[in-house]
Amino acid sequence: MYDASQHLHIGYYEDGYDYEVIAYKREKEAVWDVFVEEYDPKLYRSVSKVGNWVSVKGHGLHIFSISDNDLSYEHGARLFKNFLVDKGIV
């Protein structure tokens, strides 16, 4: 399902927040799936309250996907920030 050699930690560290998600690249596709992991209980609870997300064992809550073959940190961080703002988490 995911390319074990390609993942990206994406963070939001503005205004006193310290949130991080992980994006995993799908095998043989130009798509990255972004997950909130359970190890961050505050973010996990906040995200759980604003949607019905699919939980993937070993990865966490799948919150969105990004169509891109080579995802940059900057692009991922911008989309993660947009997600947090759109959902009213920050």
* Dist. CA 78–CA 23, nearest whole Å: 13
Element housing 42 (H / E): helix 41-49
pLDDT(26) > 90 = yes
pLDDT(4) > 90 = no
* Segment 37-54, tens digit of pLDDT: 988 899 999 999 998 999
**Predicted pLDDT at 18:** 95
Count of CB atoms situated within 10 Å of the CB of 23: 24
* Segment 57-80, tens digit of pLDDT: 989 999 999 999 999 999 999 999
